[in-house]
Amino acid sequence: MSQAPSRIERRFRALHEQSRAALVTYVMAGDPDADTTLDLLHALVAGGADILELGVPFSDPVADGVAIQLAAGRALRSGMNLPGVLDLVRRFRERNGETPIVLMGYLNPIERMGYGAFAAAASAAGVDGVLTVDLPPEEGEGLLPALREARLAPIFLVAPTTTDRRMAWICEQAQGFVYYVSLKGVTGAASLDLEAVGERLAVVRALTSLPVGVGFGITGPEQAAAVAAVADAVVVGSALVKTIAGGNPGTLPEQITAQVSALRVAMDEAPRARGIAP
Amino acid sequence: MPMPRLEGAGSPLPDARGHFGPYGGRFVPETLVAALEALTEAYHEVGRDPEFRRRLDADLAHYVGRPSPLYLAERLTHEVGGARIYLKREDLNHTGAHKVNNTVGQILLAQRMGKRRIIAETGAGQHGVATATVAARLGLACVVYMGAEDVKRQAPNVYRMKLLGAEVRPVESGSRTLKDAMNEAMRDWVTHVDDTFYVIGSVAGPHPYPMMVRDFQCIIGRETREQMLAQEGRLPDALVACVGGGSNAMGLFHPFLDDPEVALYGVEAAGHGLASGQHSAPLSAGRPGVLHGSRTYLLDDADGQIQEAHSISAGLDYPGVGPEHSWLKDSGRAHYVYATDEEALAAFHRLTRTEGIIPALESAHALAYAERLAARMAPAQTLVVNLSGRGDKDIFTIAAREGIAL
């Protein structure tokens, strides 16, 4: 069965041809409000983000560290909800038809909207993938078929604790890319062990032809560059969310563009410096 | 002699993936899946190990003080008029509540798995105290997460935990109560998954916790069954227990599930009343969703955000409930009812004055409903209330509410 390649596939192919790793950025929808988030999404792209992860705020984010917990609180107080997130995506697509968007959140808000209704609305809004942090594939019999039906990529986490056998099974269910959690911890933790990441990444790569992204705990250009040398994608979230939390709304888009640009430049230089890229 | 299995080990539910019908399961971040699988395997192993069972039984007898009495509350029965009211005296356990039945079991398991660090969440502080107690006895490091709001409400238990050598970490996020303490404990576990054992205090959370905690608490129902047969020569007509997460209720109910003549009543906390929206009654006024690792009835808003629960009792102040209760509700085997803050307070005072027993505010919710139920039953009938904890920890809350300075 051949279907037209998705935005995510097209983006990874293009980057692969250039021997570049993808920069995946995470911000929380509605932090501090919907209009600012919309500006920030464009600012992220302007800085060199290849794929946008958009956080869907949830009241009980068990996998998130303090920075993203606080962001979720701000977003909820601004009135953001799942329909609001989809509306944001729709507005983003008015000006950008190419940059893939992955929603990242927790199951209960999706469950409340209804799996089928959510998948159809997300697809219509221009969403490309969905990462539901508290939904391991074995609990996905309701949501996953609905996502596939709507041509949305189900994206899964694999962790340092995931066994090889389970990793193979998760990779079979995944589309778009596989998200390797770089550490035992919550988002934004600061104990990234690059050597260990490299070793586990080799195992993941042997199991799947999908691109492999690495995230959790990547804070600055140096780490992003080091991860870019071994991974297909580098995910940066909490570091950007902290900038948003402390930023002046007027200059925030410029600040974010500059922060992303620094990551992008470091990543693009790194593989050559290490002699990996052709 | 054949190995006595852990109670519930022969139960058809949950299935291998931890599902009770549509409820339960394992809705957790991937990092925890391997830890939950290892825990499930270790639990099944000890279930087949006579030595573990002997050690557990010895601890329950000589450290916890089991069996706990089944006490006929004659003056209360007389005052209420109707069925004879028995109290299952879990308040007489070491540490003053049923919680220790589970912590003894889980921490023995932790020791067996070679874990050196114990974490727990707590609401009223009873589970935190029970965990800190057993951790102290076995020389294990212990960290207890407790909502900042509950730290204020339950100062005596906070101090108790500190005396026992536990570190109490107040949780400032969200509603600063039990659900947020549980979030924070899960974050800790994700971060320290290699050396840490998470002792969940209720029949909630991801598989295998609802099954495992149930099995450890089933000692309550098993004893009640034997004691009723010895004292009355027949099974009780009704069982009544309060339901927050629902561990004391599940422990009492489960050994009677196959006895349809025994009616089961789980009593949720209705706070200021269901109509007020300020309550902790997901089975009575919520709907199924996903929280803390399992699908179950919960309190959420139209967007799927979890709502803050309310109850005068910190131990019932939780917007979810153990998934097996959701299953028992839908299947009709158990009835879920409720009592308000006011009703619980009235029952608290009534038991204290008629029987000389100060009940925990949690248990007072069960008493409040039991009084109503007993009054509708015949004097020849019997009911058992799970007196899940003692009320010493609550006297400050009650005094403050009644304008008394201590």
Query: What would the pLDDT profile of B62-108 be if each residue is shown by its tens digit?
Result: 999 999 999 999 999 999 999 999 999 999 999 999 999 999 999 99
Query: What would the pLDDT profile of B383-396 be if each residue is shown by its tens digit?
Result: 999 999 999 989 98
Q: Which of B25, B30, B190 sits opposite A186 (nearest CB)?
A: B190
Q: Which of B17, B190, B303 sits opposite A184 (nearest CB)?
A: B190
Contacts of B290 in chain A (CB under 8 A): 106-108, 111, 134
| Interchain contact, A62 vs B186, CB within 8 Å | yes
Rounded to whole angstroms, how far apart are CA atoms B244 and B318? 6
| Residue A99, in any domain of the structure | yes
Mutation target to probe the B interface, by most B beta carbons within 10 A, among A161, A167, A180 is A161
Pairing, β B196-199 against β B117-122: parallel
Contacts of B62 (CB under 8 A, 6+ apart): none
Query: What would the pLDDT profile of B281-335 be if each residue is shown by its tens digit?
Result: 999 999 999 999 999 999 999 999 999 999 999 889 999 999 999 999 999 999 9
Contacts of A65 in chain B (CB under 8 A): 187
Rounded to whole angstroms, how far apart are CA atoms B335 and B239? 10
| Residue A166, in any domain of the structure | yes
- Per DSSP, B254 falls in state G
| Interchain contact, A185 vs B190, CB within 8 Å | yes
Distance from CA of B277 to the nearest CA of A (A): 18
Residue of B nearest to A80 (CA): B303
E runs forming strands in chain A: 22-28, 51-55, 101-105, 129-132, 153-154, 157-158, 178-181, 212-215, 233-236
Position B7 scores a pLDDT of 53
Does residue B121 have an active-site annotation? yes
Residues of chain A with pLDDT under 50: 272-278
List residues in chain A touching B: CB distance below 8 A: 58-65, 69, 73, 76, 81-83, 106-113, 133-136, 138-139, 156-163, 166, 170, 181, 184-186, 189
B139 pLDDT higher than 50: yes
| Interchain contact, A62 vs B183, CB within 8 Å | yes
| Interchain contact, A62 vs B29, CB within 8 Å | yes
| Residue A163, in any domain of the structure | yes
- Looking at the structure of chain A, the number of domains it has is 1
Longest Cα separation, chain B: 59
Distance from CA of B14 to the nearest CA of A (A): 15
pLDDT band at B3 (very low <50, low <70, confident <90, very high): very low
Residue of A nearest to B305 (CA): A59
Contacts of A139 in chain B (CB under 8 A): 25-27
From B7, B88, B99, B115, the catalytic residue: B99
Rounded to whole angstroms, how far apart are CA atoms B259 and B229? 13
Position B265 scores a pLDDT of 98
Contacts of A60 in chain B (CB under 8 A): 174, 179-180, 183, 291-292, 306
From A9, A50, A53, A232, the catalytic residue: A53
Does residue A222 have an active-site annotation? no
* b/e code A239-258 from CB counts within 10 Å (16+ = b): bbbbbbeebeeeebbebbbe
Q: Is B318 left (phi over 0), alpha (psi -120 to 50) or beta?
A: beta
What's the whole-number mean pLDDT along residues B328-354?
Answer: 98
Q: Which residue, chain included where needed, has tokens 């067996």?
A: B112
Q: Which residue, chain included where needed, has tokens 């950007």?
A: A240
| Residue A157, in any domain of the structure | yes
B53 pLDDT higher than 70: yes
Query: What would the pLDDT profile of A22-38 be if each residue is shown by its tens digit?
Result: 999 999 999 999 999 99
Q: Which of B34, B290, B298 sits opposite A163 (nearest CB)?
A: B34
| φ, ψ of residue A267 in degrees (nearest 5) | -65, -40
Type and span of the H or E element at A40: helix A34-47
Position B6 scores a pLDDT of 58
Position B156 scores a pLDDT of 87
Nearest 10 degrees: Cα torsion A138, A143, A149, A155: -70
From B7, B362, B388, B393, the catalytic residue: B388
Indicate the residue type of B250: M
Structure tokens at B279: 């309550």
| Interchain contact, A138 vs B183, CB within 8 Å | no
ω into B50 cis (within 30 of 0)? no
Distance from CA of B140 to the nearest CA of A (A): 22
| Residue A276, in any domain of the structure | no
Least confident interval from B24-28, B47-51, B76-80 = B47-51
What is the complex's ipTM, to 2 decimals? 0.94
Contacts of B183 in chain A (CB under 8 A): 60-62
| Residue A51, in any domain of the structure | yes
* b/e code B107-120 from CB counts within 10 Å (16+ = b): bbbbbbeebebbbb
Beta bridge partners of B199: B120
> Where residue A201 sits, what CATH number does that domain have?
3.20.20.70
B44 pLDDT higher than 90: yes
| Residue A182, in any domain of the structure | yes
Rounded to whole angstroms, how far apart are CA atoms B201 and B297? 18
Position A278 scores a pLDDT of 31
Contact (CB, 8 A) for A89 and A80: no
Residue from A214, A210, A242, A240 nearest A226 by CA: A214
Structure tokens at B141: 């490091």
**Which residues span the domain enclosing A112?**
7-269
Rounded to whole angstroms, how far apart are CA atoms B297 and B307? 12
| Residue A245, in any domain of the structure | yes
pLDDT band at B26 (very low <50, low <70, confident <90, very high): very high
Helices A221-228 and A194-207 meet at what angle, rounded to 10? 40
